Amino acid sequence: MRKMIGALVILSLVSGMTVSAATTDVTNNKLLVIYSNNVNGETEPCG
């Protein structure tokens, strides 16, 4: 990844393009929320 960005930066210097590396990570906005509630009511079946 670092090599890729490096290559792009060089390319941009050569061609005068603008490069943004900040948006390459598509998972940037994603998050996982794992949750529970009311665990108090739970019991293993007694028998």
Partner 1 sequence: LGGLSKKAYRFNKVLQAKDLPFLILDGGALLFKNTFITASQEVQAKITADGIVKAYNLIGYDAVGVSSRDLAGGIDFLLELASRSDFAWLSANIIDSNSNKPIFKPAVSMNIGARKAAVLGLTDTLHARSESLGPGFKLKSWQQTLPKVIEEMRSTHDFMILLTSVSEKTCREIARAHPEINLIIQAGGTSSNQSPLLLTDNTLLTRTGKQGKYIGIMEVDWQKGGKWDSGQEEKLIASRNEIDRLNWQITRHRNRLESKELHQKLENRRLEVNTEVKRLEQELRDRLTADVRPSSYKSQFIAMDISLPDQPTVLEIVNETNRLVNEAGENTASSEAVAGITGPIGKGFVGWTKCQKCHNKEASAWLNTRHATAFLTLIEKNQQFNLQCVPCHVTGIDNYDPAGALTIPRELQQVGCEACHGPGQNHLSNPTNSTRPVTEQICLSCHTEEQDDNFDFISDAPKSH
Q: Which residues bind partner 1 (CB under 8 A)?
A: 25, 27-47
The nearer residue to partner 1, 20 or 37, going by C-beta atoms, is 37
CB 5 within 8 A of CB 21: yes
| Sign of the alpha-carbon dihedral angle for 3, 5, 8, 13 | negative
The nearer residue to partner 1, 16 or 47, going by C-beta atoms, is 47
CA distance 22 to 40: 44
- Give min distance, CB of 14 to partner 1, in A: 30
- Give min distance, CB of 25 to partner 1, in A: 8
